[in-house]
Structure 1
Amino acid sequence: MSTPLAVQLYSVRDHITKDRDRVLSRLAETGYGAVEPFAPRDDPSGFRTVADDLGLQVCATHASELVRGADASEVFDAVSTLGTSLVIVPGGIPKEEFTTGDGLKRVADVLNDLSERAAAHGLELGYHNHEHELESMFDGRHALDVLADLLTPDIFLEIDTYWAAVGGADVPALLQRHGDRVRLLHVKDGPVVRDEPNVAVGEGRIPVGEYLAAAPHAWRVVEFDKCETDVLDALERSLTYLATLD
């Protein structure tokens, strides 16, 4: 991979609340070269200054507030300040919308509108899955696949490989179906059981190498939804393991 390994900062959300700058410094010292924020309007200028000083790229940012009533222009301005052109909707849409065809059309309308508005700010919009978009099926196709057909081609995908596996998908096949549209991968590991904590990448049941090989050009972003051990130590072990795959 030519892009540096990234961390989704939701993984260290509790640590960031206490001392953001120290956490970013620890990630940089560990060897991560990029980060993916999840709250772009939280001091974007200050965040950008610290990240730049540490040599951390901002690969993309999540922005669930885009579908939760926030002023989209304000969000897009914050994303630009962070220094990335990729803004991702990672949640905030009712799960029930992914269980019917009409619901998927409504989701597509929302995302297509946001994509057009993002483009006016020089940004690209992406969508990030959880498990429910894979659990719902339509004539043998996952809801995520149906949704992708309804989205403008300008909208890219960030595939969370772990949640896709929890949802029952053949993850390599999913990645191959969407090809270059998959711009980023969330890389995580664990027992592949809903609500169970994640473990360091390489220490769980996920065939990580197989997943990465199916999307070799996607930016790799390590994430922990939950971690029962020290998450910073687990992030370090994850980086060590992923370096062996390269």
Structure 2
Amino acid sequence: MALPEASVQLYTLAEEFSADMSGSLDKLAAMGLRNVEAFDFVRRPGEIRTALDGAGLASPTGHAPLLSDELWTPDGSIPTPAPEVVFEAAAKVGLTTVIDPFVAPERWFTADGVADIAERLNALVETAAGFGLAVGYHNHAQEFVKSFDGQTAFERFVSLTDPRVQIELDLYWALVGGQDAAALTAALGDRLVAVHVKDGIAPAVNPFGPDAGEFGSASLDQRRPGGGDVPLAAALQAASAVQYAVIEYDNAPGDVFDDIAASLAFLRDGGFVR
């Protein structure tokens, strides 16, 4: 297969991006990046598109809530606009795929809940296509807490979704969910369009499980690639159709731009991106 392109999820540098959108993007472009993955773009698509164009960057993928009334993040919630509003903004920014980044844990704990998530996303495939877009889903670790008839909730979800629904696998969160990331990337085949590349030490308890306590991203022990437990090289080598290797830190261990540069060096030096 053709090697994927490198990208970076802008949530990684949310604080810096909010303070200086153009300056932050210019720093990423100076590293040689050509792509980013937008977040929170629906309320400011014109501003983001202008800044991307100014830096010579594209955002082929982006995160926006499609399946929840409110998008929960470890650091606060974002209200959910109508899908058509999301797709209109995504087209303006220049996205090709809108990825839902988080569905509340309890919705993954029953077979009916998993079926409902899949049905809701399937129903948006044609609507998105009308805007020239595809839809996708990005995992955390709650999708691996429960199993049904020998399938994890995540595997059940993939089997129930339209083949046009794209999957973005977060390799760190797959590890936290107790998964073999390399086996999972191989099994997903051409459904797997993007991966989130990040390393770290998995918490002792799945923070999205039913018995977990309060959770915030600041509690995560995330590290530069090669410094943690995630089998990044094996997972990337096992993937057969990934288009984007997306750098992300939920909790950057040091200077965020230095950490992004280290991740990019890992991808380039390992021959994992073109």
Residue 196 of structure 1 corresponds to: 220
Aligned match of 1:207: 231
Distance 2:110 2:67 in 1: 22
Equivalence map 1:19-58=2 (5 Å): 19-58=20-59
SS at match of 1:5: strand
> What percentage of aligned pairs have identical amino acids?
36
Unaligned stretches of 5+ in structure 2? 70-79, 208-218
* Partner residue of 2:109 out of 99, 105, 118: 99
Greater helix content: 1
Unaligned 5+ segments in structure 1 are: none
What is the CA–CA distance in structure 1 between the aligned matches of 2:12 and 2:261, rounded to whole Å?
12
**Aligned residue in 2 for 1:132:** 142
Distance 2:131 2:54 in 1: 25
Kept in 2: contact 1:191–1:205 (CA 8 A): yes
Residue 70 (structure 1) aligned with residue 71 (structure 2): no
What RMSD in Å do the two structures reach over aligned CA positions? 1.6
Q: Taking structure 1 as reference, are residues 27 and 11 closer, same or farther at Cα in structure 2, changes over 3 Å only?
A: same
The farther-off stretch of 171-180 and 115-124 is: 115-124
Q: Distance in 2 between matches of 1:140 and 1:66?
A: 25
- 1:232 pairs with 2:257: yes
Structure with bigger strand share is 2
Structure 1 CA distance, aligned partners of 2:236 and 2:67? 29
Is this contact kept in 2: 1:66–1:75, CA < 8 A?
no
Query: How far apart are residue 131 of structure 1 and its match?
Result: 0.5
Equivalent residue number for residue 270 of structure 2: 245
Once residues 240 and 2 of structure 1 are traced to their aligned partners in structure 2, the CA distance between those partners, rounded to angstroms, is 15
**Aligned residues of 2:168 and 2:194 also touching (Cα < 8 A):** yes
State the Cα distance separating 1:66 from its structure 2 match.
Answer: 5.4
Taking structure 2 as the reference length, the TM-score comes to: 0.84
Task: Give the deviation of 1:192 after TM superposition.
Answer: 2.2
Give the alignment of 1:69-218 within 5 angstroms. Answer: 69-91=80-102, 93-193=103-203, 195-218=219-242
> May I ask how many residue pairs the two structures share in their alignment?
245
Corresponding residue for 2:76? none
The Cα shift of 1:52 comes to: 2.3
